Amino acid sequence: MKSDSKTSINVWDPLVRVFHWSLALFFIVSYLSGDEESLLHVWSGYAIVTLLAIRIVWGIIGSKYARFSNFVYGPAEIRGYAKGMLKGDAPRYIGHNPLGGLMIVVLLLSLMATTTTGMLYYGAEEGKGPLAGVVAEQSIIMPSLVSSAHADDDGHEAKEHGDERYEYLEDLHEFFANFTLFLVMIHLAGVLVESAFHKESLVRAMWTGRKRVGPQV
């Protein structure tokens, strides 16, 4: 343990690591259960919302490398790091590098859009969820985009056809879910490239929380 403490340092705190792997798990579950419209899909979505809320707060008050101020860079730094990667002389960052920081922000925003549209659609489809009341008011906000449903005696027809006016929410939800998956693929590719470039396993670092001591920014 002593020798390890001399060759590596703590970077990712337990909350960051639990968040990362839990988010990966719940996103996989939510994405794979999306076509079923099951409670598993709903609750895995709620789990993602909870994780996002915790991470945003932790990004403000958390440990050094967990804070947004540590890895949110301006356009100049992002371009500079990208050029450095292409030239093969990009510096090593002990925390997230500028491209990695940009990916995290875009991923968080995409996940927020995915879960928000999901909850809106769930509210429209089932009349449930924290955003059901928002959906109920949309016929007033956008009267030109919705048409009244004609229900039969037991209300089945309204349930069957009335929610067709909210199909755009389903389309948006699917778009952002697929866009998030696309971002995840880019993220994984970036992890592999940087791991090879700096000869350091970023996957292992996110699991143990430690990165090697050495040249860094």
Contact 71, 65 (CB under 8 A): yes
Q: Tell me, yes or no, whether 115 lies in a domain.
A: yes
Residue 142 scores a pLDDT above 60: no
208 domain residue, yes or no: yes
Lowest mean pLDDT among 26-30, 41-45, 146-150, 163-167: 146-150
For residue 42, is it within any domain? yes
Residue 56 lies in a domain: yes
pLDDT of residue 133: 78
State the pLDDT confidence band at 144, using cuts at 50, 70 and 90: very low
State how many domains the chain has.
1
Q: Which residue has the higher pLDDT, 137 or 16?
A: 16
* Residue 4 confidence class, pLDDT cut points 50, 70, 90: low
pLDDT tens per residue across span 33-80: 988 778 999 999 999 999 999 999 999 999 999 999 999 999 999 999
Residue 192 counted as domain residue: yes
Q: What angle do CA 122, 50, 97 make, to 5 degrees?
A: 120
| Close Cβ partners of 119 (under 8 Å, ≥ 6 residues apart) | 45, 49, 129, 130, 131
3-state secondary structure the chain: CHHHHHHEEECCCHHHHHHHHHHHHHHHHHHHCHHHCCHHHHHHHHHHHHHHHHHHHHHHHCCHHHCHHHHCCCHHHHHHHHHHHHHCCCCCCCCCCHHHHHHHHHHHHHHHHHHHHHHHHHHHHHCCCCCHHHHHCHHHHCHHHCCCCCCCCCCHHHHHHHHHHHHHHHHHHHHHHHHHHHHHHHHHHHHHHHHHHCCCCHHHHHHHCEEECCCCC
Chain segment 82-141, per-residue pLDDT in tens: 999 999 889 999 999 999 999 999 999 999 999 999 999 998 888 888 888 776 666 544
Range in 11-25, 51-65, 79-93, 163-177 the model is least confident about: 163-177
Q: Which domain holds residue 100?
A: 2-212
Looking at the domain assignment, is residue 217 inside a domain? no
Q: 14-32 vs 167-197: helix axis angle to the nearest 10?
A: 130
Pair 81, 98: CB distance under 8 Å? yes
**pLDDT(153) > 50:** no
Residue 126: its pLDDT value, please?
81
d(CA 65, CA 13): 8
CATH number for the domain harbouring residue 98: 1.20.950.20
pTM for this model (two decimals): 0.84
CA 131 to chain centre: 19
